[in-house]
């Protein structure tokens, strides 16, 4: 396991610290030697991940090493590497791509039909992307595309041993300097709001989210081993994922069969947030009223100034004796010019 990395890809795929331009620059700098890449990311933009994977493949001598929790687009980016290793304590997740659906409104039949057509198009686009990604995984793992699609549909975290058995990685390492996975409150909140399942590790002890996740989130299921064909996983049909509410509560919140269920802790947190929002709105309205009053006061002063008579003065300036050009013409200079041409 190399101690010196040429490239660190962390955070969200597609952001400044995990983007194709940076990768291309480093690969071009070391185009004649092996490039060692450290990856620690929960994923992000799929198109960026596909671009990075292609850049790794074109270079031809890239070694990617996974530490911490790696999911989604972060795993896709590594598929073009010549060699992939994973730390013994790391976690690995592949899943089907997701699209953000925010529509939530009353609709008539025509509007419903248009919305359904739009969702069908989004579904087909997602299926196309899933097929592309599954093909990449299958080529790496030397398994069928259908096997990978089923694994992706399960949304289960893989241990390093399972990732090795499936063929996603070539070797498991045990370097004491590698960072261990840690599920903090903020990371858990981001994962929940993005629809990423929580890994089988505890949220930081004593945190609010730890209690919340135990009440809301299902227990993680063990992932299928490489020699097992994954079975279909049943999920409740959710008509709407409330992303803003999920971000507030730090857990996946969805409407199922027209009903929304909250725990007492969630309801209390929501009540506090609404109360705080109402206070903020009241404060802003008070400030607006105050500013409107000042504007009206200034408008009244302007109106009074317009109505007031102009200032008077006893000073009179006699301009009749001042010599002025005729229509802007200097008469003396014209006369001198005429006299100069008379014989």
Domain check: are 28 and 148 in the same one? yes
CA-CA distances (angstroms) from residue 10 to 51, 156, 186? Answer: 16, 22, 16
Is residue 131 one of the residues assigned to a domain? Answer: yes
Residue 9 pLDDT class (50, 70, 90 cuts): very high
Is residue 195 one of the residues assigned to a domain? Answer: yes
Residues 6+ apart with CB under 8 A from 240: 101, 104, 254, 255
Whether residue 180 is predicted with pLDDT greater than 60 in this model: the reply is: yes
The pLDDT value recorded for residue 59 is 97
CA distance 91 to 160: 6
CA distance 157 to 90: 10
What is the DSSP pairing of strand 254-255 with strand 240-241? antiparallel
Domain check: are 186 and 288 in the same one? no
* Number of structural domains the chain divides into: 2
Is residue 173 one of the residues assigned to a domain? Answer: yes
Residues 6+ apart with CB under 8 A from 148: 94, 134, 137, 138, 141
Is residue 38 one of the residues assigned to a domain? Answer: yes
- Tell me what percent of the residues of the chain surpass a pLDDT of 90: 45
Residues 235, 241 contacting (CB under 8 angstroms): no
Whether residue 213 is predicted with pLDDT greater than 80 in this model: the reply is: no
Residue 137 pLDDT class (50, 70, 90 cuts): very high
Give the Cβ contact number of residue 105 at 10 Å: 7
Is residue 246 one of the residues assigned to a domain? Answer: no
Average pLDDT of the residues in 228-248:
44
| Least-confidence region, from 191-195, 225-229, 312-316 | 225-229
**Phi, psi of 329, rounded to the nearest 5 degrees:** -100, 135
Domain check: are 162 and 277 in the same one? no
pTM, two decimal places: 0.59
Average pLDDT of the residues in 294-310:
78
CA distance 283 to 291: 13
Domain with 74 in it: 7-234
CA distance 40 to 68: 6
Burial 63-83 (b: 16+ CB within 10 A, else e): bbbbbbbbbbbbbbbbbbbee
Q: Give strand pairing partners of 71.
A: 93
CA distance 198 to 217: 8
Domain check: are 191 and 287 in the same one? no
- Helices first, then strands: H and E counts in the chain: 11, 10
Domain check: are 92 and 136 in the same one? yes
Whether residue 223 is predicted with pLDDT greater than 50 in this model: the reply is: no
Domain check: are 300 and 185 in the same one? no
Is residue 329 one of the residues assigned to a domain? Answer: no
Higher pLDDT, 123 or 278: 123
| Least-confidence region, from 8-22, 64-78, 189-203, 220-234 | 220-234
CA dihedral 120, 122, 126, 129 (to 10 degrees): 120
Domain check: are 202 and 282 in the same one? no
Average pLDDT of the residues in 100-111:
86
Q: Final residue of a domain: which of 216, 234, 252?
A: 234
């Amino acid at each position: 396991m190399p101690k010196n990395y040429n490239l660190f890809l962390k955070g969200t795929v597609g952001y400044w610290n995990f983007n194709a331009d940076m990768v291309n620059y480093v690969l071009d700098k070391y185009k004649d030697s092996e490039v060692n890449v450290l990856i620690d990311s929960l994923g992000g933009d799929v198109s960026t991940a596909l671009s990075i994977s292609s850049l790794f493949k074109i270079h031809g001598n890239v070694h990617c090493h996974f530490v911490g929790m790696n999911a989604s687009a972060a795993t896709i980016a590594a598929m073009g590497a010549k060699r992939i290793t994973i730390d013994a304590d790391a976690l690995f997740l592949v899943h089907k791509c997701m699209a953000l659906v925010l529509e939530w409104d009353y609709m008539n039949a025509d509007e419903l039909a248009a919305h359904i057509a739009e969702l069908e198009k989004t579904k087909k686009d997602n299926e196309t992307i899933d097929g592309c990604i599954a093909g990449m995984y299958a080529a790496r793992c030397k398994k069928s595309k259908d096997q990978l699609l089923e694994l992706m549909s399960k949304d289960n975290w893989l241990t390093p041993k399972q990732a090795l058995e499936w063929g996603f990685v070539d070797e498991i390492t045990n370097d004491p300097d590698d960072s261990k996975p840690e599920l903090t409150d903020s990371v858990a909140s981001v994962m929940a709001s993005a629809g990423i399942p929580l890994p089988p590790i505890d949220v930081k002890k004593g945190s609010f989210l730890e209690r919340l996740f135990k009440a809301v989130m299902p227990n993680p299921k063990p992932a299928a081993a490489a020699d097992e064909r994954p079975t279909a996983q049943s999920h409740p049909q959710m008509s709407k994922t409330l992303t803003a509410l999920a971000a507030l509560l730090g857990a996946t919140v969805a409407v199922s069969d027209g009903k929304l269920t909250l725990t007492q802790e969630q309801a209390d947190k929501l009540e506090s947030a609404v109360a705080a929002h109402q206070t903020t709105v009241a404060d802003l309205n008070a400030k607006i009223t105050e500013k409107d009053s000042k504007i009206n006061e200034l408008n009244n002063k302007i109106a009074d100034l317009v109505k007031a008579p102009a200032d008077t003065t006893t000073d009179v300036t006699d301009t009749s004796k001042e010599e002025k050009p005729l229509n802007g013409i200097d008469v003396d200079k014209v006369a001198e010019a005429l006299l100069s041409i008379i014989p």
